[in-house]
Each structure stands twice: as C-alpha cells, then as structure tokens.
C-alpha cells in the first residue's frame, strides 16, 4: 500500500496545477468568493503534499519540480489577474515574472552545462513565496469582500519586491559559485 501511495504528493501537486484555470476564470468573471475557496483549496493541497512527502519520505525530483510549477502557475496567474483587475501595479507583475524566468532559465542552463538541478528553495525564496501568497490572498479577499487595508496591500507589495530582488540575486550568486566549483562541461 505504501508504494502505491508514494505518488500521492505528485498527484496532489498536479491537481493544484489544474486548479489554476478555474481560479483564473473565477477572478476574471468577478466570482471572487469562488476564487477565494479555490485559492484556499490550492493552499491546503500545497501544505498536504509537502507534509506527505516529508512525513513518509515520498520526496522525488519530479515532486519538487511539480510542487514549484504548481506554486508558480497559481501565483503568476493570480498576479496577472489582479493586475488586469487594476489592483496590482504592472511593474510588480513584471518583477514576479522576471524572477521566475531568471530561475527557470538559470536552472535550465545550469542543468545543461553543469549538473542536474535539485529544486532546493533558499530561505529568502521561501519567504518570497509566502509573501506572494499573502499578497495574492489579500488581493482576492479585498476584491471579494473589501476590508483589507490599503496600507497592508502596499506594504506587502514592497516586501514582495524586496524579496524578489534578494532571492533572484541569491540564486545567481549561488549557481555561479557552484558552476565555478564544478567547472563547465564542454560540449565538444
């Protein structure tokens, strides 16, 4: 039974990716209460897949990639929707996209030229993801029910930007250090 359940965290992450489309639809169609519930389900599933993977040792490279993909798909699409709806500034969405592209392209190049990349988020990257979730959730709740103070959203915007810059720079520094230590493979 345990061997058949070991893929459960990956299935949960894949299901979270599938939740992105209904969340986007609900946001763009002003169905904010539905968006909030779907966002909560996505958040709970993120916690559940992580718990199961760590508690039972059901971790895998695929699981790490799926989990990160699900998080990024949800956050980027939510940020784009909240920009489209006039709540978030465009420069913040560009910063979120830029950091994610930096990580994906940098990881792909590192994987191709140096060694296989094992997804291992840094503490500042984890903080950035937490702040992005807090900001996205605050934005959705604000649109759905109001009552989220403007100063809270503004503070989160600036904290997200600061951690985007710090985590993006951190990945560049760390991967550069590792590349120097391992040397670059020659494709002759």
Domain contains 143? yes
Domain contains 188? no
Average confidence (pLDDT) over 7-27: 93
The angle that helices 123-145 and 61-84 make with each other, rounded to 10 degrees, is: 40
- Give the domain range for residue 171: 2-182
| Token pair in block for residue 62 | 């695929």
Band of residue 186 on the pLDDT scale cut at 50, 70, 90 = very low
Domain contains 104? yes
Window from 24-28, 55-59, 71-75, 163-167 with minimum mean pLDDT: 55-59
CA–centroid distance for 19 within its chain: 14
Domain contains 100? yes
What is the spatial distance between Cα 89 and Cα 170, in angstroms, rounded to a whole number?
24
Helices (H) and strands (E) in the chain, counts: 7, 0
User: What CATH number does the domain containing 37 carry?
Assistant: 1.20.120.1760
For 32-65, what is each residue's pLDDT tens digit? 999 999 989 998 898 898 888 888 888 887 888 8
Domain contains 148? yes
For the chain, give the mean pLDDT.
Answer: 89
Residue 187's pLDDT is 47
Domain contains 102? yes
What is the spatial distance between Cα 65 and Cα 77, in angstroms, rounded to a whole number?
18
Q: Are 63 and 7 in contact (CB under 8 A)?
A: no
Whether pLDDT at 5 is above 90: no
Whether pLDDT at 149 is above 50: yes
| Token pair in block for residue 13 | 């992450």
Residue 6's pLDDT is 84
Average confidence (pLDDT) over 65-76: 89
Residue 184's pLDDT is 58
């Amino acid at each position: 039974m345990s061997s058949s359940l070991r893929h459960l965290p990956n299935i949960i992450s894949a299901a979270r990716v599938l939740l992105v489309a209904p969340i986007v639809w609900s946001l763009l169609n002003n169905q904010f209460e539905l968006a909030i519930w779907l966002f909560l389900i996505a958040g709970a599933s993120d916690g559940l897949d992580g718990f199961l993977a760590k508690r039972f040792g059901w971790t895998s490279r695929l699981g790490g990639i799926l989990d990160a993909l699900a998080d990024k798909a949800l956050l980027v699409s939510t940020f784009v929707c909240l920009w489209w709806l006039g709540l978030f500034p465009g420069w913040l969405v560009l910063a979120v996209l830029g950091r994610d592209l930096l990580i994906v392209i940098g990881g792909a190049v590192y994987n191709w030229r140096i060694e296989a990349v094992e997804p291992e988020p840094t503490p500042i990257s984890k903080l950035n993801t937490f702040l992005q979730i807090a900001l996205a959730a605050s934005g959705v709740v604000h649109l759905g029910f109001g009552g989220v103070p403007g100063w809270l959203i503004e503070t989160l915007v600036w904290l997200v930007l600061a951690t985007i810059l710090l985590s993006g720079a951190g990945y560049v520094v760390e991967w550069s250090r590792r590349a120097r230590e391992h040397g670059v493979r020659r494709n002759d």
